[in-house]
């Protein structure tokens, strides 16, 4: 099983309320970048605790775990998938596009939306010209956060919304990416 969490010092301050107070309350969060990843992880939980969870992500509704490859010459990553809020969601950890490539983490939600692309500029998420105004509305609520949004690219279209970033850009960046793609799906999806 891939290592999803990096240990941190006990003397490090945690941003936001205690994680236990946020369980299942992701929809109430206006700006995930302002919170510690552990708070957001708890807020994203949709399923009750299991005595023996099938995966580390089971409480997120992502109870299926499989090895995945991005192409014929890739090294395997791990995919956690399931249904969240009525939509299929996949979290892929450590997918390496080529043998010489860098590992990528990606989150994908199955929802049909108009095409758009989001990049990062100075710690802020910015939609490329031509995106629907609703994309800009979601991004306008987010304060710049160079650590949280570093190197993330989000693309949406008829095949869904996908956030992708190198595994080295933020140890738990996929937690923020899951929140973001679901926020966008809620605002843009049919």
State the pLDDT at residue 146: 94
Q: What is the DSSP string of 135-189?
A: HHHHHHTSPP-TTTSTT-EEEEETTEEEEEEETTT-TTHHHHHHHHHHHHHHHH-
Residue 117, domain extent: 30-188
CA-based torsion, 93, 95, 100, 102: positive or negative:
negative
- pLDDT at position 73: 56
In tens, the pLDDT along 77-116 reads 899 999 999 999 999 998 766 556 678 899 999 999 999 9
8 domain residue, yes or no? no
Q: Does 81 map to a domain?
A: yes
- Please indicate, yes or no, if residue 25 is contained in any of the structural domains: no
Q: Is the pTM of the predicted complex or chain greater than 0.95?
A: no
**Domain contains 183:** yes
pLDDT at residue number 97: 66
Total number of domains constituting the chain: 1
How far, in whole angstroms, is CA 65 from its chain's centroid?
16
Q: Which of 3-12, 29-38, 147-156 has the lowest mean pLDDT?
A: 3-12
pLDDT over 90 percentage in the chain? 67
Q: Is the pLDDT of residue 21 over 80?
A: yes
Q: What value does the mean pLDDT take over residues 113-132? A: 95
For residue 9, being part of any structural domain is answered with: no
Look at residue 24 and tell me if it is in a domain.
Answer: no
**What φ, ψ does residue 17 adopt, rounded to 5°?**
-70, 170
Task: Note whether residue 38 is domain-resident.
Answer: yes
Q: What Cα–Cα distance (Å) separates residue 50 from each residue in 69, 86, 120? A: 29, 21, 37
- Beta carbons within 10 angstroms of residue 151's beta carbon: 14
Mean pLDDT of 144-170: 94
Q: How far is CA 78 from the centre of its chain?
A: 15
Residue 17 placed within a domain: no
Distance CA 94, CA 28 (A): 29
How high is the mean pLDDT of the chain?
87
**What does the DSSP 8-state code read for residue 117?**
E
């Amino acid at each position: 099983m891939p290592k999803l969490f990096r240990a941190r010092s006990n003397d490090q301050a945690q941003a936001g309320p205690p994680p236990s107070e946020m369980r299942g309350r992701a929809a109430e969060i206006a700006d995930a970048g302002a919170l510690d990843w552990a708070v957001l992880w708890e807020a994203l939980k949709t399923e009750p605790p299991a005595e023996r969870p099938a995966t580390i992500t089971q409480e997120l509704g992502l109870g299926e775990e499989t090895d995945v490859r991005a192409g014929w010459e890739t090294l395997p990553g791990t995919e956690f998938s399931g249904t969240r809020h009525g939509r299929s969601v996949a979290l892929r950890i450590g997918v390496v596009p080529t043998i010489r490539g860098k590992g990528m983490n990606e989150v994908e939600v199955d929802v049909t939306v108009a095409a758009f692309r989001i990049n990062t500029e100075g710690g802020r998420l910015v939609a490329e010209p031509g995106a629907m105004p609703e994309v800009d509305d979601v991004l306008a609520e987010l304060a710049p956060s160079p650590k949280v949004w570093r190197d993330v690219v989000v693309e949406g279209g008829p095949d869904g919304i996908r956030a992708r970033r190198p595994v080295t850009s933020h140890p738990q960046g996929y937690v923020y990416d899951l929140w973001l793609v679901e926020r966008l799906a809620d605002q843009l999806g049919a």
